[in-house]
Amino acid sequence: MNIVLLGAPGAGKGTQAARISEKCGVPHISTGDIFRKSVADGTELGREAKRYMDAGELVPDEVVIGIVKERLAEPDCARGFLLDGFPRTVGQADALSGALAETGRELDSVIDIEVDTASLISRLTGRRTCRACGNITNVAGLANEPKACELCGGELYQREDDTVATVTHRLTVYTRQTEPLTDYYRSKGLLRQVDGNRSPDGVFEEISRIIDGC
């Protein structure tokens, strides 16, 4: 199954992607994770991407598209893939459909997770991610903030772009540059919208109905 996950920053794309990837046995390809790894590894790509990420801006299309095309050509994508955070502009969406057509593939579903803005801000500012296993959690409202991952004991960290100021800008960028993709994919008959204002289990239940049979 070839799936795209759409949704604003904090909508729960990464949280649901881990579950979908496990259920369907397809690789989870997160452009944000690819850039964060490049930053951590100190590569030239990481240095370039960091300038945009820290400002809450999108990395230029010509940089992102090349990376995703290379990743989709890897053998593990032959039986399907799950894209999280790509495409994010109409230019990226056009490039994706071109790249898939060249290899005789097409998208099966574009799943758009919808969440109200107030929840997005509290989810993002309270998010913590495990440095070791990547598990995503949230500490908003907890009296004692956990320092270790509940799954593997690894160190929990806060993403540098999860400050209130950067989050607010990321949401504006999302509205301006990425939200038009809902109409883009609706017009192609691929869009499936999911109410993301429920528990992670509730959201996954609805997504599971969409990807039934994967």
Catalytic residues: 13, 88, 127, 159, 170
Tell me how far, at minimum, the Cβ of 137 lies from ligand AP5, in Å: 5
- Backbone φ and ψ for 139, nearest 5 degrees, come out as -110, 5
The binder of 80, among ligand AP5, Mg ion, none, by C-beta within 5 to 8 A per type, is: none
What sign has the CA pseudo-torsion 46, 47, 48, 49?
positive
CB-CB contact of 166 with 57 (8 Å): no
- 90, with CB counted inside 10 A (0-12, 13-18, 19+), is middle
Tell me how far, at minimum, the Cβ of 98 lies from ligand AP5, in Å: 16
Distance CA 208, CA 48 (A): 37
Place of tokens 């729960």: 12
Q: Would you state the structure tokens that stand for residue 39, as one six-digit string?
A: 């930053």
Nearer to Mg ion, 102 or 160 (CB): 160
Q: Which residues, 4 to 63, sit near Mg ion by CB under 5 A? A: 13-14
Q: Give the distance, in angstroms, between the CA of residue 88 and the centroid of all CA atoms in the same chain.
A: 10
CB-CB contact of 5 with 16 (8 Å): yes
Tell me how far, at minimum, the Cβ of 214 lies from ligand AP5, in Å: 20
- The candidate with the shortest Cα–Cα distance to 92, out of 194, 33, 9, 6, is 6
The binder of 11, among ligand AP5, Mg ion, none, by C-beta within 5 to 8 A per type, is: ligand AP5
Tell me how far, at minimum, the Cβ of 135 lies from ligand AP5, in Å: 9
Tell me how far, at minimum, the Cβ of 124 lies from Mg ion, in Å: 10
Judged by the rule CB under 6 A, the positions of this chain that interact with ligand AP5 are 7, 9-15, 30-32, 35, 52-53, 56-59, 64, 85-86, 88, 92, 123-124, 126-127, 136-138, 161, 170, 196, 198-200, 203
Distance CA 121, CA 113 (A): 15
Strands (E), the chain: 2-7, 28-30, 81-84, 109-114, 127-130, 136-138, 156-157, 191-195
Nearer to ligand AP5, 125 or 213 (CB): 125
Q: Which DSSP symbol is given to 81?
A: E
Interacting residues with Mg ion (CB under 5 A): 13-14
